[in-house]
Structure formats: structure tokens, C-alpha cells
Amino acid sequence: MSLNVIALGGNAILDTDPTDVGQKEFIKKAAKYIVDFVEKGEEVVVCHGNGPQVGNLLLQQKAGDSEKNPALKLDSCVAMTQGSIGYWLQNALSNEFAKRNVSKPVASVVTQVEVDANDPSFTNPTKPIGPFFTEEEVKVEAAKDNSTFVEDSGRGYRKVVPSPQPQNIVEKEAIRTMAQGGVVTVSAGGGGIPVIIRDGEYVGVEAVIDKDFTSKVLAENVQADCLILLTGVDNIYINYNQPNQKALETISIAEAEGYIQEGHFAAGSMLPKIEAALDFVKGASNRKAVITSIENLENIQENAGTTIVSD
């Protein structure tokens, strides 16, 4: 039996149907794969993305913004979507276990993730979030809180926020205790609620944290054996979409770093996953990381997907 952190993407949850019914239906399907994996004797902590969901919530906040009903700050919006997706996963997993007459507790944890107040991203925000604005609207919005806006591919202006590196899972002791006690635990959703330490207290900040890097920190904090990063393909490829493309199976740290140097992986998609996987595997010789599709999850024990191992 091993402990695994599974990272599920927010874009996968919100694929074509943005309603909560549509997203719940996807999560029901995902739950079956996760329960199949657990039934093979594995323990899991589930982490998930929330990019599309928090973006939609920000749109709803803007539409309803008024003096008596002001829009909430970004850290609260991250917490709200973390809670809703956590509920969907908790509900779907519990129901799937019950259908199989498997007694397995499931719980979700609203999770804060500590970031460094001096992280360079706070002086150079680059992560676009929320609605598009016209140039005139930007003048009004920026005056409210000195937010930074950038033009986005001819579609208008969007607010950009910092995306600092995660340092520590605040609730790690509770999550580790639950996971080691056999509880399927949903935590650190959306990269976690970003907090800094100010005057000895945790304070929420306007930022978003990359889900894959947070899942790596979470896996370290709960002493996981394996980090599983789920994506839309069964394997990592080199020379992707070219006649000589090749699916990678088991590769070493050195091989993965070599492929990065050769420029095989896109910065906005596969590269963060590989970097997070490498960081995790480098932490201890007995760790491994797997990048694959959710459909391949139950076959990981048979070496499905791309596995990164120590040299």
C-alpha cells in the first residue's frame, strides 16, 4: 500500500458544460477511476484545479457588484471554488464507494497555502484572471485598488495577478493525519488559498498558485510515495505532433531534464507538470511521479503513463 497525491485539472472538470450539473457529471466519471485505483490497495489525497471555475465566479461577482453587495477578494473566491469542487468530489467519491459496498471515509479540507510575501511575482504579476474590460473600464477598475491590467490577444484588457511559488501547506498536519488514517482527502484545491505571514498571522492575498506546484508541496508535506499529475494524454511525448513523435514511458531525472533543455515541452501546458514532478522525485530516492490521463489511472501499477524516477 502506498500513499499517492492525485492532481486533477480544473479545465478537465469544466470542459464543455459550465453548469454545476455538467461539472458534477464529469466528477462522477472521475470518481469511478479514483475508486478503481483505491480498490487496488492505494491510499489517495486528491488535489484539483479551479482556473475556469474561479474565472466564472469572478464574472458573477462583477455582475452583482454593488455598494450593498460588494464583490469578494480573490482569496475568498479561491476558497469558494475550492469548497464547491471539494463538495462535488467528496459527494461523488462517497457515492461511488457506497455503490460498491466499500466502507471508505472521504473528507475535503479548505486549505491555505503559504507563499513568500517577497516572491518576485508580487512585483511582476502575469497571471490573467476574470473578465475582459475595455480601455475606459480599465481606468475605473484600476483606480479602485491599483490593480494591473494587460491587453489580451485583441480581446480586451484583463486583470493580472501574482502567481507565487507555494512554500507550505498550512493544514498539512491535519491532511497527513487523515490520509495516514485511511481517509480519502480532498485538499489544496485550485493551488490552495494564498496566504502570507504578516505580524505573526496568516493573511489572504490577491494571487493564484499553480495547482501542479502546490500538489508537489502537498505530496512532500503528507510524505506521499507517488505524485500523479493527470492531464489530457496518456503519456508525455517528445517531438509532439510531428512524424517522429515518441511516447515516454519510464524516464530518469537526467533524461527529463535533457528533454526540457531541448525544448520539447510547452511552458503553458506540460512544462509545469514536468517541473513539479522532477522537484518531487529529487526530494527522495524512493519517490516517483507519474503523468498520464485519468483513464489510465488504474493501470499505473502496470507502468502505464510516463513515470519519472530517480537516476
Q: Which three cell numbers stand for residue 66?
A: 454593488
Catalytic one among 127, 156, 204, 299? Answer: 127
C-alpha cell of residue 62: 462583477
Catalytic residue among 4, 9, 10, 288: 10
Element (H, E) at 143: helix 135-145
Query: Would you call 28 a catalytic residue per the annotation?
Result: no
Catalytic residue of the set 11, 239, 286, 303: 11
Residues in the chain: 311
The whole-angstrom separation of Cα 305 and Cα 183 is: 26
Cα(29)–Cα(32) distance, integer angstroms: 5
To the query of whether residue 273 is one of the catalytic residues in this protein, the response is yes
- Which residues share a beta bridge with 3? 43
273, 288, 296, 305: the active-site residue: 273
Sign of the CA dihedral with 106 first, then 176, 217, and 2 last: negative
Q: Any bridge partners for residue 160, and if so which?
A: 128, 148
Annotated catalytic, 56?
no
Active site residue 11: yes
Assess whether 299 carries a catalytic annotation.
no
Q: Which three cell numbers stand for residue 91?
A: 459527494
Catalytic residue among 9, 159, 172, 211: 211
Catalytic residues: 10-11, 127, 211, 273
